[in-house]
Amino acid sequence: MSWWRRGVIYQVYPRSFQDGDGDGVGDLAGLRRRLPYLAELGIDAVWLSPVFPSPMADFGYDVADYCGIDPLFGDLDQFDALAAEARALGLKLVMDFVPNHTSERHPWFLESLASRENPRRDWYVWRDPAPGGGPPNNWLSSFGGPAWTYHPASGQYYLHSYLREQPDLNWRNPRVRAAMYDVLRFWMRRGVDGFRVDVLWRLIKDAQFRDDPVNPAWTPERPQEERLLPLFSADQAEVHDVVAELRQVVDEFPDRVLIGEIYLPLERLVTYYGRDLAGAHLPFNFLLLETAWRADAVAALVEAYEAALPDGGWPNWVLSNHDRVRVSGRAGERQARVAAMLLTTLRGTPTLYYGDELGLGRVPVPAEAVQDPWGKNEPAFGRDPSRTPMQWDVSINAGFSMAEPWLPLSADWRTRNIMTAGDDPGSLLNLYRRLLALRRERPALHAGGWAPLAVAGEVFAFERRAGAERLVVALNFGAEPQRLHRPDLAGARVLLSTAGRDEGATLAEPDLRLAPDEGVILEPVG
109-154 pLDDT, tens digit each: 999 999 999 999 999 999 999 999 999 999 999 999 999 999 999 9
Query: Does 526 score more than 80 pLDDT?
Result: no
What total of structural domains would you count in the chain? 2
Q: Return the DSSP state at 506.
A: B
pLDDT at 500: 86
> In this structure, which long-range contacts are made by residues 437-442, counting pairs with CB atoms below 8 Å and at least 24 apart in sequence?
437/42, 438/495, 438/496, 438/521, 439/8, 439/42, 439/344, 439/345, 440/6, 440/42, 442/466, 442/469, 442/471
284-309 pLDDT, tens digit each: 999 999 999 999 999 999 999 999 99
* Structural domain includes residue 367: yes
Q: Which domain holds residue 504?
A: 449-523
* Structural domain includes residue 165: no
Q: Rounded distance, CA 272 to CA 275, Å?
A: 8
* Structural domain includes residue 492: yes
Q: Rounded distance, CA 445 to CA 139, Å?
A: 44
Across residues 84-90, what is the average pLDDT?
98
Residue 208: CB atoms within 10 A of its CB come to 7
Q: Rounded distance, CA 126 to CA 118, Å?
A: 12
Q: Return the DSSP state at 283.
A: E
Query: Does 63 score more than 90 pLDDT?
Result: yes
- Pick from 455, 506, 495, 497: nearest CA to 477: 455
Q: Are residues 478 and 342 in the same domain?
A: no
Q: Are residues 264 and 358 in the same domain?
A: yes
The amino acid at 109: F
Across residues 371-398, what is the average pLDDT?
96
Query: Does 455 score more than 90 pLDDT?
Result: yes
Helix (H) / strand (E) element for 150: namely strand 148-151
Query: Does 401 score more than 90 pLDDT?
Result: yes
357-375 pLDDT, tens digit each: 999 999 999 999 999 999 9
The amino acid at 39: A
Q: Are residues 226 and 94 in the same domain?
A: yes
Q: Rounded distance, CA 18 to CA 1, Å?
A: 33
Positions marked catalytic:
198, 252
pLDDT at 136: 98
pLDDT at 1: 85
Q: Rounded distance, CA 139 to CA 255, Å?
A: 39
Residue 500: CB atoms within 10 A of its CB come to 10
**Domain final residue pick, 384, 412, 437:** 437
Q: Are residues 14 and 60 in the same domain?
A: yes
Q: Rounded distance, CA 212 to CA 228, Å?
A: 6
Q: Locate the DSSP E strands across 184-329.
A: 194-197, 257-260, 282-283, 316-318
193-215 pLDDT, tens digit each: 999 999 999 999 999 999 999 99
DSSP percent split of the chain into helix, strand, coil, nearest 5: 35, 20, 50
Q: Contact, 319 vs 354, CB < 8 A?
A: no
Query: Does 268 score more than 90 pLDDT?
Result: yes
Q: Rounded distance, CA 421 to CA 390, Å?
A: 13
**Domain CATH for 515:** 2.60.40.1180
pLDDT at 508: 87
Q: Rounded distance, CA 237 to CA 205, Å?
A: 9
* Mean of pLDDT over the chain: 97
Across residues 443-456, what is the average pLDDT?
97
pLDDT at 424: 98
Across residues 221-232, what is the average pLDDT?
96
pLDDT at 363: 97
The amino acid at 455: V
Q: Rounded distance, CA 419 to CA 442, Å?
A: 28
The percent of residues above 70 in pLDDT, for the chain, comes to 100
**Domain final residue pick, 388, 404, 437:** 437
What does the angle CA 512 – CA 513 – CA 516 come to, to the nearest 5 degrees? 135
Query: Does 161 score more than 80 pLDDT?
Result: yes
Q: Are residues 369 and 296 in the same domain?
A: yes
Query: Does 430 score more than 80 pLDDT?
Result: yes
Q: Which residues are CB-neighbours of 118 under 8 A, at least 6 positions away?
A: 111, 112
Helix (H) / strand (E) element for 182: namely helix 174-189
**Domain final residue pick, 383, 404, 437:** 437
pLDDT at 41: 98
Classified as helix, coil or strand, 421 is helix
Residue 141: CB atoms within 10 A of its CB come to 21
